[in-house]
Structure 1
Amino acid sequence: MRTPTRTVLVILFTLLFIERFGVGLQQNGDSYVSCIESEINALIKFRGSLIDNSNHLSSWDGEDCCTWTGVSCSNRTGKVVKLDLHNMHLQGQINPSILNLSHLHYIDLSNNDFSGTQILKFLGSLTNLRHLNLSNAALGGKIPRQFGNLSSLQYLDLHMNSFDGPIPDTLERLSSLEILDLSSNSFLGSIPSEMGNATRLTFLDLSNNELEGEVPRTLMNLCNLHIFDLSNNKFRGNIPILGGNTSTCLRSKLKELRLGSNQFSGFLPNQLGEFENLEYLLLYSNSFSGPIPASLGRLSSLKWLDFSDNQLNGNIPTSVGQLSKLLRLDISSNSLDGVVSESHFSNLINLNELSMSSNLLAVDVSTQWIPPFQLKYIKMASCKLGQQFPAWLRTQSNVEELIISNAGISDTIPDWFENVYSHTNYLDISHNQIIGEVPKFLESNGTNRELILNSNKFEGRLTLFPSNVVLLDLSNNSLSGYIPQIDNRNVRLEILTLSNNQLSGGIPTYLCKITTMRFIDLSKNKLSGKLPWCMGDLYRLEVLDLSNNSLYGEMPSSLGSLQQLNSLHLRGNKFHGELPLSLQNLAYLHILDLSENGFTDIIPPWIGEKLSYLKFLNLKSNNFYGDISALCNLFNLQLLNLAHNNITGDIPPCFGSFTAMVFDHRLEEYEEYGVDINYRESILDSMKGREFEFTKILSLLTSIDLSNNHLVGNIPEELMNLSGLVSLNVAGNHLKGRIPENIGRLEQLQSLDLSRNELSGSIPQSLSALYYLSRLNLSCNNLSGRIPTGYQLQTLEDASIYMGNNGLCGPPPLKSCSVDELSNAHEPVHESKGGDESEILWFYAGIGPGFLVGFLGVCGILHFKRSWRYAYFQLVENMYNKLSLTIALKTAWVRRKFGKDNFGK
């Protein structure tokens, strides 16, 4: 009887176990479990809110949910404990049915697309969660405060989403949290001080947000922190974690400290050397100042040190040479000075990247020195390396990037240097005084290469270059001869700049076959011939600069096929004829410079109708004619130069609608016009009586030059709306009427030339409000009355500003203004009554012819004789400069002789 009784008890116990723990016939590991129906239904609803274009969830069918893709169940209870659907490219919404999976402790929905869905508050109810990964899931909105209820959470990754608003202080109730990644979002505000309570944190990444303010001192409580990343935010002030009060435990645990691209300031403390296990110290792009602490030499585990783009000064401590594990050293773009010697590198046996560019450093090592490292990346721009090529470079056989520009080298390229540069993918030896012929670059298999050899003294013919070169810059040298033909190799060239050499001959047609080309700069050479028709085949071309050569003929209509063209420079050639209608297809054109050629055409209407992105239009010194009202729709225009043409008609009032000339472009961030840092757009424009080439400040230039045409009518009041205008020149036309009274609204104006017109009336008082005005020319008009007084006008003491206006009076030294002239400056002359009436009438009758003769004798000749005009005004300006210099020198002599204090009394 005992045996059957035992059997019954075993059966009853087994049935009880099945009922209690839900063990079924579904195998999971070594156990058999089955899904709970309520959780199956929850998963089905969850799937119903998703779009599964890749069919990853095709297995979600039947009653065995524990076998479904991405679903894991407890071996003991059969309940769903893990949902891992990462990297399945799912779309849609997160369904609240997930709440019915109350035993979930692991959720990973990363690398999916939930279309900006806000994290719903219900996720804060999954109190058993230990792991939550929603990174790169296209989520947005604010983090719900309910997330603070996830008291068991150890891992939280929300990086690469669009979360905004402040980081909720409730998030720091998560006392079990070990990993927290909120990077690459749009979080605002400061770090909550409560974050210092999450003392189990080993990983904290808040980088790439919009966080600001100072770092709370409570973070010094994070004794277990291994990785701390605040880079690419707007934090400011000192960093408490680097200060003297930092806890000992943090100094011994921290391995990575990444604080780059913020607004931190202050000195780097000497306590940095006490972070004994630090491997990564990245403080780039801040405002740290003072010296580099010598204690850094104690960071024996350091692999990456980046102090670039700060305000550090002083010498580099030789203790840096003791960092034997260091792989990357970047101290570029600071104000460091002094001599770098062999001792600075003595034990850097693992170094493979050295960046010291843009400092005031001089490298002084023996010609026999053999470095302990093999570098892949050498960046030493603006470091003084001596007149000869550094001999230690010959020991470096694996260099992939070499930058030794502006290094004071005035040597020929030594034979051994070929073994160094033959492996480089990026070579920059520009801005030296290197002489001799251009080195021959042998063919090599591998990645694309960039060769930057500009601004040296290379001479002779241009040699062939390898087929894998994508950038070749040999500008600003003394190369001569033809541009060599290249055979039909697989050329990858994208950027070719050979400007400012002495190259001759025509533009070779083989260039048309290099369809990878993005920009070509052959300006400032001696090239001749016609522009090849096949240039229109370069469909990827963005910049074409052929200015200042001797090219001639008509512009080929094939250029209209270059629909990606951003910039076209043909200035200073001998092109003639009309502009091809096909140019209207260049819809993305920002810069069009056709100045100093022989084009004869009306101002084409399609310029204003089709080229709506134009910012800089220069047609100076051609034979364009007709009116210019067709340009009124160029709202993005910053520069308009139509000087020295045959333009007729009025100045269109609609020019006051050039929106880009209203803004103060000094407040904008600097913008490069062009496709690569090795090419800078340039525009020649007249300002302050001289012609300047604008490059770096091109984006700041707002100018209108309509001088030396045949314009008539008044100066439109609407032009006074262009408050961002820097230069206005309408000299040498037939403009009449008064100078607009509200000309003072042009508050950014630096240069104003209204000379050689027929303007009348008084000079507006508002002109004295132009505080930036440094060049003014009102000569040869019919202006009358007193010259306005004002702070800025008092500094413009050149009498030639007002010459040829016999009705003007007052300082600078013209005739004094009488009471009658002040009161009657704008009144007509009345007949005199008295015995000498006839004599007075004859006197006034003689004024007219006398003035006419004087006007024609001076202003007339200056108007029709360009060379005389240039020479005259240059003479006046030179005399003024000499006089100013004489006065300045005399004043300085008197001050030195009698003492500054006595002189001022």
Structure 2
Amino acid sequence: MLVQPAKHAMVQALSLFIISMSFLTHDIHACIQTQRTSLLSFALILSSPSLNWTSTNCCHWEGISCNRDGWVTHLQLPSKGLKLKGDSFSSSSLANLTHLTHLNLSHNSLSGPLDDLFLSLNDLKIVDLSYNLLFGVLPSSLPSSHIQMIDFSSNRLHGAIPSSFLQKAWNLASFNASNNSFSGPIPSSICLPSSSLLRHLDLSFNNFNGSISSGLGKCSKLQVFRAAHNYLSGSLPEDIFNVTTLEEISLPLNSLNGAVSDAIANLTSLITLDLSYNQLSGVLPLHLGKLSKLKHILLDFNHLEGSLPPSLMNCTNLVELRMGANNLGGDISMLNFSKLSQLSKLDLRKNNFFGVLPRSLYSCKLLKAIRVSLNNLEVQIQPEMVSLKSLSFLSLGGNKRLTNIKETLKILMRCKRLVVLSLASSFLGEELPADLGEVDFDGFQNLRALDLSFCNLTGPLPLWLSKLKMLELLDLNQNRITGSIPSWMGNLPRLYTISMESNLLSGQLPKQFCRLPMLVSEQAAAQLHRTDIELPIYIPGSVHAKPLQYNYIYYDPSIFLRDNCLSGNIPNEIGQLQLLQLLDLSGNNFSGNIPDQMSNLKHMEILDLSTNHLSGKIPASFTSLNFLSSFNVSHNNLEGPIPSSTQLQSFNASAFEGNLKLCGAPLPKKCQTIKGADAPDMNTQGADTKENQFPWFYVSAALGFITGFWGVCGPLVLMTNWRYAYYHFLENVLDRFRVMISRSMAKVKRSFF
């Protein structure tokens, strides 16, 4: 009986608590009028989209949070498509939000400078304005000592980072200024004792230059330091190796030089070391293996030399080891990979390693990518390769003693996940196997790229290639493949890049070859999803530029059949390959007319039909090929005028030479025009007209000469001070000219001696 009153009392107390909390909650979220006005003024400067800020209480608006006193503390509107009506961000619209701690307007289209945006926002802790269109320079300093995170990445900000910018940011833990246009040196004051809490520093993709000055060592809690893709030079400052909390150093695509310091062994917390695409030299640190937490080592594209330190095999957490394009060497068979159970990617391409590829590599069961091409290794594919169930990228070409192509392919076809296979410059002089010993061929079912170039292989194109339904790139150039191009090649559903130049292929180009789905149908090409690969593919850029790097299979849609023995007419059906960008049929025996249908290849950038036996005229419709950057029809039997267009006339005359009956620009040979019998004699007409004309041209020329002569020479004759000034001016010009000549000669001497 006593239980019921007690229970009733508890219910009453709970009800009173809920009612009181509802009043308290109402008071907490009651919006102060000045805050509401400031937010509405901010909304007014936006052009789109409109924010649904209509209710009385602004604390309940989307992206807005308030404290218990009704002051706005959070303004968070990321990825809302916000744009400004004007060209600049008016700071006055946010000036009254003096209690704001979190400002997130990232991934919008806001523009304007940052000059005084934060001057009155003294309580800011988190600022994220990344992925906008903000421009201008940074303010001299930040007003708030409470700021913990700043993200200005992916904007259009420029200029130097003022040395005083972070002076008051005593609590700053993360600063991201990547993907802008900042310049000048990295300020040494960025790690003042007041910034000792800094953990994350990202200055990548800017224009910073000069050496990295000492001072980073004062950031005693720094974990991530990124400054990739800048113009930094010099060596890494020694004090950076005192920051034992560092987990990532990522400085690729700079001009850093010198050796990697032995002091790097102090960074026992390091997980990622990326110094690729620099100018580092010397040998690798002997005690690199002390960095037991290392997972990613990327030192490719430097000038490193010597051998891999044996201690490297103690980095048992290693996932990615990339040392390609250096001057490293040594006997690779001395390395024991069996400890690297986590290894997923190994790239040692383009070095001077020798010896036998160690079998211990097969114990790394998580391997997805192996690239040891362009060394002096003795490579033989062992059956244990099949045990690497995740292997998708294999490049072994450019070594020695890789033989027996049939057995090699029979083993590798059982690697079910293989996507990229490059065995270039191997199996020298062997015969391309007609079959791989399988009645129902089901190998290489995920293969996208096959490279057997520069192997000097013989025999016809084998039928098993027609089974590779996922193949996108086929490179068989520089072999001795014979026979005709089979019609089944036009049925490969994903093939869009074919290189079979410098072979002994003969016969006609089959019409079926011109039906490749990826080159015919935009709909089919749109369904071809980009294939990401485990190691990047490098495509040469311009002469002095770094090679282009692609982390997915990427080649322009192209067909290279030059330097073969193909004959007959170029089929009209070639006009169906509308997505083709590069076509090279030069150095063959093609005859007949150039098909007019080739003008349907609207995406064509490079077209080479030179050194054949083609006749007739260049189709007038070629004037519509607006994307041509290279064109060559030289050394054929073409005739008639070269079609007039801005595009064709922009090429050098050598692109048309060797066609004796061809005429018109850019060739020096002019085309003869046939005049009708009744055509008026323009020369006679002109002579009759000239007889009745007064020679105004000669009169005006004479008057101009007289006026100009006395206008310049008269003052020099009559006025002594003008004459002296003029002679003095001539002497200065001659002196500057002599200096210029001497400097030019000095440069020439330096360049040749």
TM-score of the aligned structures, taking structure 2 as reference length: 0.76
The alpha carbon displacement at 1:617 in A equals 4.9
Q: Of the candidates 342, 352, 358, which is equivalent to residue 350 of structure 1? A: 342
Is 1:395 matched up with 2:387? Answer: yes
2:320 matched to 1:328? yes
Q: 1:520 to 1:246 in 2, by over 3 A?
A: closer
Once the 2 structures are TM-superposed, how far is the Cα of residue 40 of structure 1 from its aligned partner?
Answer: 1.0
- What code does the residue aligned with 1:131 have? I
1:156 to 129, 150, 161: 150
Cα distance, 1:539 vs structure 2: 1.2
Return the alpha-carbon distance in structure 2 between the equivalents of residues 326 and 487 of structure 1: 42
Partner of 2:708: none
User: Could you tell me which of 267, 270, 273 is aligned with 1:278?
Assistant: 270
Residues 390 and 326 (structure 1), Cα distance of their counterparts in 2 relative to 1, 3 Å cut: same
Q: Which residue of 1 aligns with 2:502?
A: 500
Contact 1:506 1:529 in 2 (8 A): yes
Residue 408 of structure 1 corresponds to which residue in structure 2? 400
> 1:454-469 alignment to 2 at 5 Å?
454-463=453-462, 464-465=465-466, 466-469=468-471
Compared with structure 1, are the counterparts of its residues 533 and 489 closer, same or farther at alpha carbon in structure 2 (3 Å cutoff)?
Answer: closer
- For structure 2, the residue ranges without an aligned partner over 5 or more in a row are 1-19, 520-556, 673-743, 749-753
- Give the aligned partner of residue 34 of structure 2: 38
Q: CA RMSD in A?
A: 2.9
The alpha carbon displacement at 1:109 in A equals 0.5
Residue in 1 that maps onto 2:191: 196
| Aligned with residue 553 of structure 1, among 584, 592, 595 | 592
Match of 2:648 in 1: 611
The aligned residue for residue 137 of structure 1 is 132
Q: Which residue of 2 aligns with 1:575?
A: 614
Superposition pairs for residues 53-132 of structure 1, below 5 Å?
53=49, 57-58=51-52, 60-74=53-67, 76-92=68-84, 94-95=89-90, 96-114=92-110, 116-132=111-127
In structure 2, the partner of 1:885 is: none
Q: Which amino acid aligns with 1:290?
A: G
1:88-126: CA deviation from partner (whole Å, max 9, x where unpaired): 121116442111111100000000011x42224132321
Whole-Å Cα distance in 1 between the matches of residues 558 and 181 of structure 2? 36
Query: 2:650 and 2:179 mapped to 1: Cα distance?
Result: 33
Q: Which residue of 2 aligns with 1:425?
A: 419
Deviation readout 1:26-82 (Å, 9 max, x if unpaired): 947xx75311111111111111212334x6x32x111121111111111x2121100
**Structure 1 residues 110, 462: closer, same or farther in 2, change over 3 A?**
same
Q: Which has the larger Rg?
A: 1
The number of equivalent residue pairs is 605
User: Quick check: 1:177 aligned with 2:172?
Assistant: yes
- Kindly provide the CA deviation profile for residues 405-462 of structure 1, in whole angstroms up to 9, marking residues without a partner as x: 2012441221542345542211111122342225769668987711111111322221
CA distance in 2, matches of 1:383, 1:402: 15
Structure 1 SS opposite 2:431: strand
Change (3 A) 1:420 1:127: farther
* Matched-pair contact (CA < 8 Å) for 2:379–2:400: yes
1:883-898 to structure 2, matched below 5 A, reads: none
What is the one-letter code of the residue matched to 2:659?
A: N
Q: Residue type matched to 1:350 in 2? A: Q
CA contact (8 A) 1:438 1:458 kept: no
Q: How far does the alpha carbon of each residue in 1:169-199 deviate from its partner, in whole angstroms, 9 at most, with x for none?
A: 1212112211001111110101122112121
Cα 1:386–1:290, aligned 2, differ >3 Å: closer, same or farther? Answer: same
Query: Which segments of structure 1 move beyond 3 Å, counting only runs of 4 or more?
Result: 23-28, 245-248, 365-370, 387-395, 419-422, 438-448, 487-490, 609-617, 646-649, 769-773
> Structure 1 residue 207 and structure 2 residue 204: aligned?
yes
Q: CA deviation at 1:613?
A: 5.7
Q: Distance in 1 between matches of 2:228 and 2:39?
A: 39
Q: Is the 8 A contact 1:584 1:610 kept in 2?
A: yes
Deviates more, 1:417-426 or 1:287-296: 417-426
Q: Please, what TM-score do these two structures have when normalized by structure 1?
A: 0.63
Match of 1:290 among 273, 282, 290: 282
Q: Percent of pairs identical after alignment?
A: 27
Q: Counterpart in 2 of 1:262?
A: 254
Confirm or deny: 8 A CA contact 1:443 1:467 kept in the other structure.
Answer: no
Change (3 A) 1:341 1:367: closer
- Distance apart, 1:160 and its partner CA: 0.9
8 A Cα contact 1:26 1:34, kept in partner: no
Question: Does the CA-based 8 Å contact 1:361-1:384 persist in structure 2?
Answer: yes
Query: Does the Cα contact within 8 Å between 1:524 and 1:547 map onto a contact in 2?
Result: yes
Q: Which of the residues 474, 477, 485 maps onto 1:475? A: 477
- Check 1:614–1:110 CA distance in 2 against 1; reply closer, same or farther (3 A cut): farther
Q: 2:222 matched to which residue of 1?
A: 225
Partner of 1:449: 448
| Paired residue secondary structure (2:189) | helix
Measure how far apart 1:384 and its partner are. Answer: 2.5
- Please say if residues 455 and 474 of structure 1, whose CA atoms lie closer than 8 Å, have aligned partners that are also in contact: yes
Partner in structure 1 of residue 657 of structure 2: 620
Tell me which residue corresponds to 2:581.
542
The AA in structure 2 aligned to 1:478 is: R
Match of 1:436 in 2: 431
| CA pair 292-103 structure 1, distance change in 2 beyond 3 A | same
SS across alignment from 2:304: strand
Work out the CA distance in 2 between the residues paired with 1:613 and 1:598: 22
Cα shift readout 1:122-169 (whole Å, capped 9, x = no counterpart): 323211101000011121111122x42222111100011111100111
Identify if the C-alpha distance between structure 1 residues 568 and 319 changes in structure 2 by more than 3 Å, giving closer, same or farther: same
For residues 815-870 of structure 1, the C-alpha deviation after alignment (integer angstroms, 9 at most, x for no partner) is: xxxxxxxxxxxxxxxxxxxxxxxxxxxxxxxxxxxxxxxxxxxxxxxxxxxxxxxx
CA distance 1:205–1:388, shift in 2 (3 Å) = same
Counterpart-to-counterpart distance in 1, 2:603 and 2:389: 41
Does the Cα contact within 8 Å between 2:599 and 2:622 map onto a contact in 1? yes
Cα distance, 1:507–1:443 mapped onto 2, change above 3 Å: farther
Instruction: Name 2:7's counterpart in structure 1.
Output: none
Residues 1:119 and 1:490: Cα distance change in structure 2 (over 3 Å): farther
Displacement of 1:512 in angstroms is 2.2
| Cα distance in 1, alignment partners of residues 358 and 625 from structure 2 | 57
